[in-house]
Every structure is written in C-alpha cells, then in structure tokens.
Amino acid sequence: PIPNTVLSSKPFLQDFVIDVKNNTAVIADMTDALNPPIAPAFVVINLETGYIRRVLEGNASFLAADEPVEIHGRLVSHKRKDGTTIQPRYPLNPISIDDENNYIYYGAMGNTKIYRIPSAVLADESKQDSDLNKYIEFYANKPKSDGFKVGANGKVYVTDVENSAIVESTPSGVKTIVQSKKDLSWPDGVAIHGNYLYIVANQLHNLPLLNEGKDASKPPYLVLKIKIEE
C-alpha cells in the first residue's frame, strides 16, 4: 500500500507509468479537484527497494488553466452537498512514457500543454524538487484531455474531451485524427498495440458527479480502436 505520508489530505491517484529502465513507477496524484485547494504531485516508487517519495507538489506544470471544461456548449459542473455548483479546474492527470523509457510526458487535464522530464532524473532519489524543476521542459500543445499515450516518432495521441476527438500532438502542432460526438463521448484512457490505438469512451461528463447530480449517460460505453501510423 501507498502510505499516507506521501499522499495529500485529498489524494486522487490517476494514471501511472512503469519505467523499466530505472525500475520505477510514477503515479500522477491529481488530488481532489472537486474539493479545492489542490496539491497535485508525482508519487515515485522504487520498485527494487519499495521506497516511495512525493515530488514536485504544486508545480506550475501540473496546474489547470483558470477556465472550466466545456463540452458541446455545457460546462462540466459539480453540485456540492450544500447545493452550490462549481466548475472544477482539473490539474495533473495524463502521464505516459516513451518506448525507450527516456522521458516521462505529462500534463494537466484542464490545460493545453504537454511537458516532459527525463525518467532517469525523476528516478534519482538524491534530487530535490528544486533540482527536478530544472529538467522540466515544454514539449507540445494539446487540447484539454483525459488520457494520452506517447507513440513512435515523438507523436503523442491525446484525448480531446471538449471536442469528442483524438488528436496527434507533436512539437510541430496539433492534428485531429478522428472526431465523433456519438462514439467519443469523453474519451478517457488510450493504449497502443501494433498499429492500433485503443480508446475507452465512458461519458464521464454525463454522470451525476460532473453533471450537477443528474445522470445523462446512456449505454453502451465503448472501447474503440483506430489504425495509426507507427
């Protein structure tokens, strides 16, 4: 189990990567965006020794833009127990690692930038936050997204939750490769196998928690695949 000593008071552990080169796991702790203030961070696990550390808490690259997520004209909104409504700002969530295990890529769900950090640097237990921050670099633009996956040749396949699409992000720009309001209703997790990208579309924004207490979701909830050039 992950001890409370490396978690915030409101943890929300999200996507994770396994760095086989450095024998490390890195988890994106989004923290609870529905109950700010938030404190997103990486939880880094040494898979040899079991040592766990929390790093870069609150780093600027983990934070959302100060604007809501809007899907087809509707703001993603959460109704609190006291009846008030908020539009959450979603921080650190997607995280991926390249096939060579050289870089870990990440971003905030509610922001439009992909960052990366060398995996060996993040695995170095002697590095403090001030040291790690020096290695963070902007990589590419993206839409507001849930999951993403690093593919070949520097391509990052990104879920575009606001536009029901999948895009390809590179340092050269952002290109939509498929879009479907019907089938890609909140594209969430993605995976690559061979020349196919697999996508989970779960209608998350239509569930009560993010739709002011009302359930507007309608089965089926889909797992899709599209052919990509890898």
Tell me the CA distances in angstroms from 1 to 4, 8, 83, one per residue in order: 9, 15, 35
In tens, the pLDDT along 75-94 reads: 999 999 999 999 999 999 99
Q: Which domains does the chain have, with CATH numbers?
A: 8-227 (2.120.10.30)
Task: State the first-to-last Cα distance of the chain, in angstroms, to the nearest integer.
Answer: 36
Residue indicated by tokens 């575009």:
160
pTM of the model: 0.96
CA–CA separation, 134 vs 183, rounded Å? 41
Q: Is the dihedral of CA 48, 115, 36, 32 positive or negative?
A: negative
pLDDT score recorded for residue 229: 85
pLDDT score recorded for residue 1: 86
- Beta bridge mates, 79: 85
